[in-house]
């Protein structure tokens, strides 16, 4: 997370540090949110406010997000057929 944030523009790093969202099954380990917060806090500039969010449904967050995205009519315009891809 830290390395990814540091590769972004300086202007948005504050927002990124303040909005870290854990998602996926591998984030379900007990204490992962606290550990992530401590490790990022140790690496980030001391002036940064670190906020790590671990929603209870995070195991399925990626699937839920993909489902919502696929249901948007604006996203359907970006779909391509298998024949177009090949």
pLDDT of residue 77: 84
Instruction: Annotate 15-62 with DSSP letters as a single string.
Output: HHHT-EE--SGGG-STTHHHHHHHHHHHHS-TTPPP-EE--TTGGGHH
Count of residues in the chain: 86
pLDDT of residue 76: 83
Q: Cβ-count burial of 58 within 10 angstroms (0-12 exposed, 13-18 middle, 19+ buried)?
A: buried
Q: Hey, what CATH topology would domain 2-85 get?
A: Nucleotidyltransferase; domain 5 (3.30.420)
CA separation for the pair 10, 12 (Å, rounded): 6
What's the whole-number mean pLDDT along residues 2-27?
95
> What is the model's pTM?
0.74
Taking the domains of the chain in order of start, what are their residue ranges?
2-85
Residue 8 has pLDDT above 90, yes or no: yes
Dump pLDDT digits (tens) for 32-81: 999 999 999 999 999 999 999 999 999 999 899 999 999 998 988 888 88
């Amino acid at each position: 997370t830290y390395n990814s944030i540091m590769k972004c523009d300086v202007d948005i790093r504050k927002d990124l540090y303040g909005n870290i969202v854990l998602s996926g099954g591998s984030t379900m380990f007990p204490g992962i949110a606290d550990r992530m917060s401590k490790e990022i806090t140790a690496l980030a500039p001391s002036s940064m406010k670190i906020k790590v969010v671990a929603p209870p449904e995070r195991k399925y967050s990626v699937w839920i997000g993909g489902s919502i995205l696929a249901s948007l009519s604006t996203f359907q315009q970006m779909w391509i057929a298998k024949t177009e891809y090949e």
